[in-house]
Amino acid sequence: MAYAVKECFLTLQGEGVQSGRRAVFLRFAGCNLWSGREQDRAAAQCNFCDTDFVGTDGEGGGKFADADALADRVLQTWGNGAEDRLTVITGGEPMLQLDDELIDALHQRGFRVAVESNGTLPAVGGIDWLCVSPKAGTEVVQRSGDELKLVWPQQGIDLAELETWDFRNFLIQPMDCDARDDALDAAIELVMDRPRWRLSLQTHKIVGLA
């Protein structure tokens, strides 16, 4: 299948358990919870997204005819070094486009494949690290993985239910919003009250990376 990619660039993973690792970020265009248009934000199922995933005009973005072409772009973006290759596939919602062929092509080029999803679509097989970030009011069908990363605060989230899901790591990340300080305070308070959770910060924003 063809793939629509918003951007593909080399950076450091800024969030979650793998924070600080060199990685190629592969951002697919499109999402099933928001069109990406500001006029639709208020009515969207996810109305606090801080990412531009519309179109294919970002750094390293474009339309790729097949899995080998896109995997070659990821390899080219990685540059030198054959060890510890990591690509983080995100969006939008990557499960709208991610398939077995692309994962196989990336594995053939020596990459570990990490994926960041909203969990409303089932994950394909072969993913090496799966992060799910649930959104209030949506039906999360992918209830297992390596990392559950909850943006906080969100009204309508049942923390006790989330804690029954099969994840190795439970992370709370303050929402990037106008009330950032309040969101950070709320996240810290939650972690202090529920020690199963750990605080995750968007370190790429703190240090000025994309």
Dist. CA 122–CA 136, nearest whole Å: 17
Q: Which among 7, 49, 131, 146 is annotated as catalytic?
A: 49
Amino acid at 139: E
Annotated catalytic, 50?
A: yes
The catalytic position among 116, 120, 147, 170 is 116
Rg of the Cα atoms in the chain: 17
Which residues, 6 or more positions from 140, have their beta carbon under 8 angstroms from its beta carbon? 118, 119, 120, 132, 134
- Decide if 177 is catalytic: no
31 is catalytic: yes
Instruction: Tell me which of 40, 50, 84, 163 is the catalytic residue.
Output: 50
Residues 6+ apart with CB under 8 A from 205: 14, 176
Candidates 7, 25, 87, 131; catalytic one: 25
Q: Which of 15, 46, 120, 167 is catalytic?
A: 46
Do the beta carbons of residue 72 and residue 5 sit within 8 Å? Answer: no
SS3 of residue 107 by DSSP: helix
Q: In 3D, which of 195, 203, 143, 145 has the Cα closest to residue 173?
A: 203
Joined tokens for residue 162: 């989330």
Q: Which of 9, 11, 51, 56 is catalytic?
A: 51
Is 49 a known active-site residue? yes
Active-site position among 31, 64, 147, 167: 31
204 part of the active site: yes
Q: Which residues are identified as catalytic?
A: 25, 31, 46, 49-51, 116, 204
